[in-house]
Amino acid sequence: MNPLLSSATLPLFDQILPEHVESAIETLLTGASNALETVTAADFPAHWESIARELDVATEKLGIAWGAVSHLNSVADTPELRAAYNAALPAVTEFWTRLGADERLYAKYKAIDVHTLNAEQLQAHKNAMRNFVLGGAELAGAQRDRFAEIQEQQAALSQKFSENTLDATDAFSYYATAEEMLGVPDDVQKTALAAAQTEGKAGYKLTLKMPCYLPVMQFAQSSDLRAALYRAYVTRGSDQADAATLKFDNTQGIHNILALRQEEAALLGYPNFGALSLVPKMASSPEVVISFLRDLAQKARPFAEQDLADLRNFAHEHLKLTDPQPWDWPFVGEKLKEDRYAFSEQEVKQYFTLPKVMAGLFKIAETLFDLSISRDHAPVWNANVEFYRIERSGPQGTQLIGQFYLDPTARSGKRGGAWMDDVRARWLRPDTAELQTPVAHLVCNFADGVEVDGKKQPALLSHDNVTTLFHEFGHGLHHMLTQVNEHDVSGISGVEWDAVELPSQFMENFCWEWNVLRHMTAHVQTGVPLPRALFDKMLTARNFQSGLQTLRQIELSLFDMLLHTTHKPGDDFMPLLRQVRNEVAVMLPPDWSRTAHTFSHIFAGGYAAGYYSYKWAEVLSADAYAAFEETAGPDGLPNLETGRKYRQAILEAGGSRPAMESFKAFRGREPTLDALLRHQGMAT
């Protein structure tokens, strides 16, 4: 039996092999295509449930199977799986494009009597009508054919961009000497030494994966070592990379992607891709976004300039660096932080073991949102992956709310970064009348635990890692706690892209609450909790370099939006990036830096002309969290009634109504910038 065709309730990740992909996807594509023909027949009723029972059931089977293949391609990449994925990608893309542009199906949806729909179905229908137009359903003849070609070419180019980024990252290795490794944290040294020994090589194997790269940049005393890693990192996937990895250059791919996006926008009647991208988002136009970003940049700039001045003065006075280079800044920043606040990231890291952090994360979610979270069983793709279930007790007994996979650690063949993805959505199924509960993936790339005296320690997380985990879990809660029964607007489905970061960024705030944080710490050797004095130092340092960090996000966001509005595809995009940096940034990288060439969010991750959404949603999330600050008890613990209101207004509503309506249902008003500026130490 092909595991991708199994009727099991969860994907059989431990059985799926590359040779299963072609036949399973062909079978499921045939089934979905047949369902499309059935519902578009003249005598098939234009009825919401009837269409869902036939078509949505078939397309969900395809979506879950292809989602499993795509997921494995991201977390367990092999040459064989990559080949199987790429072989099936054109046919899958062609089907979804054809479905979204089918004028017969569009006509059937138009003919549905909207008065027969409930509120959730009405929102899903409204979204569907918009998506048909954006999917090319009103195009005809050569334009329709060209639109389909564009979708297929874009899918292939995005996949290639992602592959090049992963391969360029994996291809780099540097074998450092013990002298070069001076200052690098012990756990990083142990991992690097073991990696070199496994290959039978001398020294310490360094890579460009974040659990290795970042601590080397922060702590290695050797400026030459930092320079070597920095150059390799910022030139990945570009024309500036070393000769051995030039084959992973993404330059032409970026040009091709931008040209196709512009052509797609023109076919659909929009002046540029930025305008097209914003149709389903909260922001009303590119001009509104650009104005928002420039306004925020103006407010943040004085703080960023002070951050840079502090770094320069410290480098000169304490480190004898009169002309710090880009690869020196992380090192200088860490030394300044240690000097100013009398603690280091490495000191903090010893208190955050992954199991203890997970227990603390679960405790706050359970308390605030009236849940219980426990280990569960499911087939997984790697021994480090864990599976959990979320339940709630009620009058009818214990009810399953949702389930999730947690894949926390970095490894070869796994895409960098952190993300949440859905396995399946909550849905009152039209074929069985049973309620399907949602399932999510939570993926991070933390350093794995190291061997100490023959015993493996648990993974140690930096406070930034802890924040990342809370962020992704916030996305997961948004997907899993929904109480919406309509597939296309339950959980994260149907939520405007620039509001989807609200629940994730909201959860980050708890990483700065003593009464939450103290429950998730235990020193890796002694088991002693994080001392309050050390936490107070962390809190004082919370907004360290927040001005620089804000401008960095605005730089990327503004570049993304201008790239998809004013930039002419085909022209060199590097001058635009320099122009944006000259306008926004106070810390400029070298001319040979090629950040855009691995900007996977916008070239392979769905954030094209939408990267601004991180800052946009930060306004929403900070204001939402301010409600908890305003109602906290004398002990500083969150008010449970506020938690219930947030859960019901934001998390449970999912995409069943516009995000602004959900926000106003919680806050009673529209959001303001005040809380964000206050949280980031930039209030005037």
Handedness of CA 143, 87, 171, 349 (dihedral sign): positive
Extract the tokens encoding 267.
């076919």
Distance CA 374, CA 376 (A): 6
Helix (H) or strand (E) holding 206: strand 204-206
Q: Is residue 327 within 8 Å of residue 217, measured between CB atoms?
A: yes
Of the candidates 514, 588, 513, 609, the one whose C-alpha atom is nearest the C-alpha of residue 265 is 609
Is 486 designated active site?
no
Buried b / exposed e over 434-460, threshold 16 CB at 10 Å, is eebbbbbbbbbbbbbbbeeeeeebbbb
* Sheet of strand 397-409, all strands in order from the earlier edge strand to the far edge: 372-375, 386-394, 397-409, 439-446, 419-424
- The string of DSSP letters for 249-298 reads --HHHHHHHHHHHHHHHHHTT-SSHHHHHTTTSSS--HHHHHHHHHHHHH
Extract the tokens encoding 578.
């320099």
Handedness of CA 61, 64, 68, 74 (dihedral sign): positive
Q: Letter for the amino acid at 488?
A: D
Please, which residues bridge with residue 267 across strands?
A: none
Of the candidates 664, 622, 625, 658, the one whose C-alpha atom is nearest the C-alpha of residue 643 is 625
Distance CA 493, CA 589 (A): 38
Distance CA 212, CA 228 (A): 14
Pairing of strands 397-409, 439-446: parallel
Distance CA 285, CA 293 (A): 13
Distance CA 390, CA 321 (A): 52
The CA distances from residue 151 to 14, 127, 158, 561, 612, in Å, are 32, 20, 11, 21, 24
Q: Which of 120, 472, 513, 652 is catalytic?
A: 472
Q: Any idea which residues carry the catalytic annotation? A: 472
